[in-house]
Each structure stands twice: as structure tokens, then as C-alpha cells.
Amino acid sequence: MDRIGPIRLSSRIAAVFGLALMGFGLLLVSIVSKGIFFNMVTQLDNALYGQFLASRIRLSANESQKPSNVVIVGIDDKSLEELGAYNPETYRMYHVAGLRNLVSGRPRAVVFDILFADPHPDPAVDRALGEAMKKGRVFSVHFAASEDHAGHMFDRGAYGGLSNIKSRAVQEGGFFSMITPVYESLSGFGIANAYADTDGVLRKLPVVFNVNGKVYPTVALEVYRAISGIPRESVRFSRGKIRVGERAVPSDADLRTRIPLLEDQYRIRQISFSDVVRGRVPAEFFRDKVVFVAATATGLGDNKLVPVYGYVPGVKVHANLLLALEENRLLDELTPKEYYVLLCLAALFYTFIFYNKKPGDGFVIGLLKALFRRVVPMWLANGFDLRFKRVQAALTRFAPYFHWLKNSYVARFTVLLVRRTRSRVQDLLVQVLQLYVVLFVLFLYFDFFVKPTALIIQLLLAYIIVGEYKDVETLLAQPATADAPKE
């Protein structure tokens, strides 16, 4: 007997490890092959991410928004009514007047989400815009393109410290050009390109780009780096994150980060461009703020489709990323290697849980049953029994139908099937619910998104494999019956 215990224990451990590795191997092969299964998992992860985000918004609906230092000055419908239809030449002069009012308030930065690519017919207007930019810390977006139109104009904006990861970044062939008076007056510039997923929804933004063999930042990263006084050379990549000072920007295999939509928690003020041009907003309001200037009117075409919020002006994507950098609210994720390790651990954990599960109610189900045993009698004792009796009397009218259902073989088989199914999947549903709650808590309180679909599938695989193994084990353990007739 002394040897039976250790032998049984070792065999159980071997069974758990073997079954877990079988389930993990099946899932790993399915994901790595990147076929239909991979696309299905990706779509489900995207849907669950949207559901997590929507739930967070609903939970914070009654909470007051925290103030932020990010402001959007938008060329909105009101601006178009007061200043006329958008025309780059006409609005170039308005930009001069508006920028003068902005920089007089001493903001931390002014960021133009507008490309100044073509010169104004009057060179004096471009010179005036450049002079206004020199009076403050002004940034502008520029756009990467498949073909180069700018030569080496933007070389000074490259991040030399990230050259070791340029092969992983989104690649483009060059840039659109920028007029010289503006380019020479800027404190910095960043790329504004954004690429939606295959379903048209923008969920991630490239943190850096590989353009002609050099690494360039997205505009929010460059603005944060500059206003924080961090040298370009000190920006580094380590452990799956791009590190800018004390901030670590999570990134996937393509060096993209999930867009942190924080407007349910932080207030991003939006001001009409015409109010700034006309001087209706006190300059003091912009002190120590980061001000984005962009087209926000629906007819100007710069709209992005994002989860939950639908179509939003493109500038909000960059403003939210900058806000997340400022508030250290970046949405973290596991690297691919870390995620595979997590899947392997999940396979071991759930295989162990289901392998050692004994018949009976789990803790959660038992707790719910205990609550119902106490709550329902109290509910009936508080006068609801009369209503219950009325409902019961009404149901007696359908007694003949119930009698037929009771004696129907189909109905009896259905009830039996439902009871057996409930007893079989009860533990499975409890584990799925607990996993979902844990992942949502990580998202809600720790800004950590763990892709749920593969974990849930790993849980299902562990349940199925262990169930089939136990059925075979039970069958083999039954004593053999003699087939020969007795004499």
C-alpha cells in the first residue's frame, strides 16, 4: 500500500500534463497557422474589446469627468458658417490670426493636425504663419506616403535609438512635402497616418513608422517627448514596449498600440476655431495646455470609425493617445510570447480543475442556491404570495396542455436532456464566467487588456479533453462480463 499512493499521484500528474499539452498544442497550431480560425479569434477579440469598453463607459456614466490639459480647437460647422466654406488659401490667413491668439496665452504646445503642403499665392501669408509659429512651441503633422515627395526634409525628426526595430514597424516609401516657412518654424512634427482594421474600425495606431530605413514617431509620441524634455536618442525599445522617459508604450508585433479612448473619464474641451480667430476665448484659458487645431466638421472628411463611439474626428485619436501618455493611462497588453505562455498555463490550470472536479455543485452555484432558498420565502411572505396564487390560477387553464406535455415522450426526453446538459456544463459555465470577470476587472481597474477568446477556447478544450478522457477511463475500469452461456 505504501507504493500505491505515490504511483497513483504520479499517474494523475502525468495525465494532467499530457491532457493540458494536448489542448495547448491544438490551440497553438490553429492560431499560428493564421487561417480561418485565427481570423475568427481576432474578430471575437475585437468584439469583446468593444464590449469591455462599452461596459466601462456605462459604469463611469455617473462619475464626473476629470479635467485634462488637452484642448481641441476645431474647424467645426459653426466655423464654416462664420468664416465661410473651407478653402486652404483663405483659412491660411485665419490660421495666422488664430495662432497669434493661441500663443499669447502661453500653451505648452500647439499641434496643427493640418498639412501645410502647398504654398499660398501670397508668400507673405506663409511668412506670417511661420513668424507666428516661432513665438510658441508649435508642432504639425506630416503624412507618410508610398512615394517620396519630400527628399531628406524630415530627417531631423527620426529616432535613432529605435533603428534596431525598424523592420517591425509599418513601412512607407516617403513623405508628402511641407512648405519651407512652416517647416523651418516648427518645434517638431509627427506622422498622423492611421490604418483601420479589415472591418473598417480603427483600434490601433502605429507608434513609430519605418520610412526609407529610418524610424519616425506618431505625432502624439513626438509632442509628448518634446514637452517632457526627453532627447530623441533616449527613446528605446525593450520588453515589447517603446520607452519614452518614465512612460512605456505597449506595442504589438507591428509596433502598434491600442488607442486608449478616455473621454468617458477625462474631459477634452472642444472650442470652435472661429471663436479663437475672433478673439472670443481669453488667451489665458490656453495657458499650460496642449492645443490641437484640426478640422472637425463632418463634411471635411477627416473622420475615423472607432469602437463604441462610432465616427469621430481624426484629431481625437491623437488627442486621446497624448492624454493617455500624460496621465499614464496607456492600455497595456501581453506580448505574443507572454500570451502563449499564459495560454499554456491556462491549459494546465483548467485541465487540473476539471480533472479533479468531483460531482456536486461548485461554490458559486451553491451560493446562489442558498440565496434563493432564503430570498424566495421572504419574497412570498411579504405579500407576493397572493400574486403568485393568481398566476397559479391562471396557469390552471392550461392544465390539459401541461398534462399532454407531461405524458409526451418528446417532452420527457427534452427535460431529461436539459437536466443532463445542465449538470454537465454547469462547471464549464462557472469557469467561463469567472474568467470573464477577472479579465474585465483587469481592463477596468488596471488598464490591462488580455485577449479573451483564445483563453476561453483553451478552457473549452480542457473541459472537452478531460471529459472524454474520464469517459474512456471509466469504461476501461468496468469489469469484463463473460459472454459464454452458463452450463
Counted domains in the chain: 2
Pairing assessment for the beta strands 138-142 and 310-313 based on DSSP bridges: unpaired
For cell 520610412, what's the residue?
211
Clarify whether residues 322 and 459 are in a common domain. Answer: no
Task: Report the share of the chain in percent with pLDDT over 90.
Answer: 63
Clarify whether residues 257 and 342 are in a common domain. Answer: no
Q: What is the pLDDT of residue 487?
A: 47
- Burial (CB < 10 A; 0-12, 13-18, 19+), residue 160, is exposed
Look at residues 253, 269, 239, 263 and name the one whose alpha carbon lies nearest to residue 329. 263
- Least confidently predicted of 31-45, 169-183, 350-364: 350-364
The answer as to whether 479 is a domain residue is: no
For cell 499554456, what's the residue?
344
Q: Which residues contact 262 (CB under 8 A, 6 or more apart)?
A: 320, 323, 324, 327, 329
Look at residues 187, 167, 322 and name the one whose alpha carbon lies nearest to residue 255. 167
Contact 116, 142 (CB under 8 A): no
- Least confidently predicted of 125-139, 351-365, 433-447: 351-365
Burial code of 370-396, b = ≥16 C-beta within 10 A, e = fewer?
Answer: eeeeeeeeeeeeeeeeeeeeeeeeeee
Of 284, 315, 333, the position where a domain reaches its end is 333
Task: Report the share of the chain in percent with pLDDT over 70.
Answer: 83
Clarify whether residues 245 and 329 are in a common domain. Answer: yes
The answer as to whether 401 is a domain residue is: yes
Clarify whether residues 163 and 294 are in a common domain. Answer: yes
Clarify whether residues 112 and 217 are in a common domain. Answer: yes
Amino acid in position 2: D
Q: What is the pLDDT of residue 299?
A: 82
- For helices 4-32 and 36-59, angle between their N-to-C axes, nearest 10 degrees: 100
Clarify whether residues 362 and 282 are in a common domain. Answer: no
- What mean pLDDT do residues 351-380 have? 60
The answer as to whether 484 is a domain residue is: no
Q: How high does pLDDT run on average in the chain?
A: 86
Of 333, 367, 398, the position where a domain reaches its end is 333
The angle at the Cα of 95, spanning 89 to 101, to the nearest 5 degrees, equals 160
Q: Distances from the Cα of 210 to the Cαs of 169, 347, 440, in angstroms?
A: 5, 38, 34
The answer as to whether 83 is a domain residue is: yes
Cell numbers at 291, concatenated: 492645443
Transcribe 300-314 into DSSP letters: G--EEEETTTEEEEH
The answer as to whether 23 is a domain residue is: yes
pLDDT band at 217; cut points 50, 70, 90 = very high
Q: Which residues contact 161 (CB under 8 A, 6 or more apart)?
A: 232, 233, 234, 235, 236, 237
Clarify whether residues 262 and 411 are in a common domain. Answer: no
Of 318, 333, 348, the position where a domain reaches its end is 333
Q: What is the pLDDT of residue 375?
A: 55
pLDDT tens figures, 253-280: 899 999 999 988 899 999 999 999 999 9
pLDDT band at 363; cut points 50, 70, 90 = very low
- Burial (CB < 10 A; 0-12, 13-18, 19+), residue 104, is middle
Q: What is the pLDDT of residue 371?
A: 53
Clarify whether residues 301 and 450 are in a common domain. Answer: no
Clarify whether residues 193 and 304 are in a common domain. Answer: yes
Cell numbers at 388, concatenated: 403568485
Clarify whether residues 280 and 355 are in a common domain. Answer: no
Domain that holds residue 96: 64-333
Q: What is the pLDDT of residue 60?
A: 84
Contact 469, 15 (CB under 8 A): yes
Helix (H) or strand (E) holding 463: helix 452-477
The answer as to whether 483 is a domain residue is: no
pLDDT band at 1; cut points 50, 70, 90 = very low
pLDDT tens figures, 383-392: 545 555 565 5
Pairing assessment for the beta strands 247-250 and 241-244 based on DSSP bridges: antiparallel
Clarify whether residues 280 and 385 are in a common domain. Answer: no
Residues recorded for the chain: 487
pLDDT band at 298; cut points 50, 70, 90 = confident
Clarify whether residues 268 and 341 are in a common domain. Answer: no
The answer as to whether 317 is a domain residue is: yes
pLDDT tens figures, 305-358: 999 999 999 999 999 999 999 999 999 999 888 999 999 999 999 999 888 876
Q: CA-to-CA distance for 340 and 346, rounded, in angstroms?
A: 10
Q: What is the pLDDT of residue 391?
A: 55
The answer as to whether 480 is a domain residue is: no
